[in-house]
């Protein structure tokens, strides 16, 4: 028997946002739909968003969920969290926020919160005309768990966002490893690699933040603009460009204005609007993870230089 919080039980017994939203032809409003999971796998969630086009804002949302108590409650929490948000702000909602809204979920049910976040992304990317299957790098990269079709990038992301430390945690969050178990050793290796990268990044930050101009210890402070640009360039050079170049594309850092990062996509990356948007978002996700959570990446085409 699972231990659920009062909030989970309340939302499960008294859901207020179940159902669909239809396009009624209302001026300035559009309906977007995102769907994840499958009934055959035990959980499926279809999310409908009513979007105010001018302001790119979510006016209302509804869900249709096939699943357990925590899947229904997570869907309710998701809808309550995203109502009133702009689409960009909604994309920042994490599965952890969904679980926190519920006062927590049993570890083995955390995948329900992940499903909610994925349905939200699917709806927004559908609305923006971006291929959901390639809306970010989750579906690219090495397939680690063939039982559940989970890639390395998806596992890395969930480890980072939720500070997971064991393969069992990963199974609870994205189901990987919960079938035949043959991928569990690889999941352990990925956890180790993510932890090593996080330690290295922390050491670099601490080194740059802990010594002030007189060589004395100082409280941690934000990156200077110069440090930020250097870090962005480093992430692009070491983590983004090699992947793009292998696919016949490339990216160049054009300008940095606060948290707005302007890039020029080249080769195959700049050839169609859909791939451009997808790449922009993939680059943005990586820079948010490695440099600052507030970063927004803009593609500026190929400006003429004098
Ligand atoms: S391959 Fe991951 S559980 Fe079977």
> Of 81, 97, 128, which closes a domain?
128
pLDDT at 16: 94
pLDDT at 38: 65
Would you state the structure tokens that stand for residue 244, as one six-digit string?
């793009």
DSSP 140: S
Residue 124 sits in the same domain as residue 10: yes
Residue 50 sits in the same domain as residue 115: yes
Given a contact cutoff of 8 angstroms between Cβ atoms, the answer to whether 56 and 86 are in contact is yes
For residues 249 and 109, what is the distance between their CA atoms, to the nearest angstrom? 40
Q: Ligand 1 centroid vs 149 CA: distance in angstroms?
A: 9
> Residue 112 pLDDT more than 80?
yes
pLDDT at 265: 82
**Does residue 143's CB lie within 6 angstroms of at least one atom of ligand 1?**
no
Range of the domain at 145: 137-197
What would the mean pLDDT of 135-140 be, rounded to a whole number? 50
pLDDT at 139: 52
pLDDT at 64: 94
Given a contact cutoff of 8 angstroms between Cβ atoms, the answer to whether 74 and 112 are in contact is yes
For residues 128 and 138, what is the distance between their CA atoms, to the nearest angstrom? 18
Residue 150 sits in the same domain as residue 260: no
Q: Which atom of ligand 1 is nearest to the CA of 187?
A: 2
Minimum CA distance residue for ligand 1 atom 1? 145
Q: Which atom of ligand 1 is nearest to the CA of 148?
A: 2
Count of domains for the chain? 3
For residues 73 and 51, what is the distance between their CA atoms, to the nearest angstrom? 23
User: Could you give the C-alpha distances from 102 to 14, 69, 216, 231, in angstroms and in order?
Assistant: 14, 12, 44, 36
**Does residue 155's CB lie within 6 angstroms of at least one atom of ligand 1?**
no
Lowest mean pLDDT, pick from 88-92, 129-133, 158-162, 297-301: 129-133
With respect to residue 211, please indicate whether it lies within any of the assigned structural domains.
no
**Does residue 183's CB lie within 6 angstroms of at least one atom of ligand 1?**
yes
DSSP 247: T
**Does residue 149's CB lie within 6 angstroms of at least one atom of ligand 1?**
no
Question: Which CATH number fits the domain that encloses residue 69?
Answer: 3.90.1010.10
């Amino acid at each position: 028997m699972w231990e659920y919080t009062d909030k989970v039980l309340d939302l499960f017994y008294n859901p207020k946002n179940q159902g669909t939203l239809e396009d009624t032809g209302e001026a300035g409003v559009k309906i977007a739909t995102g769907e994840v999971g499958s009934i055959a796998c035990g959980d499926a969630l279809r999310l409908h968003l009513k979007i105010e086009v001018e302001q790119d804002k979510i006016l209302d949302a509804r869900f249709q969920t096939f699943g357990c108590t925590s899947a229904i409650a997570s869907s309710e929490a998701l809808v309550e969290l995203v109502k009133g948000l702009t689409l960009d702000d909604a994309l920042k909602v994490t599965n952890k926020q969904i679980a926190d809204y519920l006062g927590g979920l049993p570890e083995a049910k955390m995948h329900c919160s992940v499903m909610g976040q994925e349905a939200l992304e699917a709806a927004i990317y559908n609305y923006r005309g971006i291929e959901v299957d390639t809306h970010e790098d989750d579906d690219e990269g090495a397939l680690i768990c063939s039982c559940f079709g989970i890639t390395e990038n998806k596992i890395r992301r969930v480890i980072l966002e939720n500070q997971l430390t064991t393969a069992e945690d990963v199974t609870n969050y994205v189901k990987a490893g919960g079938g035949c178990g043959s991928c569990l050793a690889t999941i352990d290796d990925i956890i180790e690699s993510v932890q090593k990268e996080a330690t290295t990044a922390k050491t670099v930050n601490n080194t740059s933040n802990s010594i002030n101009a007189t060589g004395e210890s100082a409280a941690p402070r934000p990156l200077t603009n110069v440090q930020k640009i250097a870090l962005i360039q480093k992430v692009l050079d070491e983590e983004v460009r090699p992947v793009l170049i292998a696919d016949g594309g490339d990216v160049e850092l054009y300008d940095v204005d606060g948290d707005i990062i302007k890039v020029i996509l080249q080769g195959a990356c700049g050839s169609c609007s859909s791939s451009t948007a997808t790449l922009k978002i993939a680059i943005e996700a990586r820079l948010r993870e490695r440099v600052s959570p507030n970063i927004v990446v803009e593609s500026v085409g190929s400006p003429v230089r004098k």
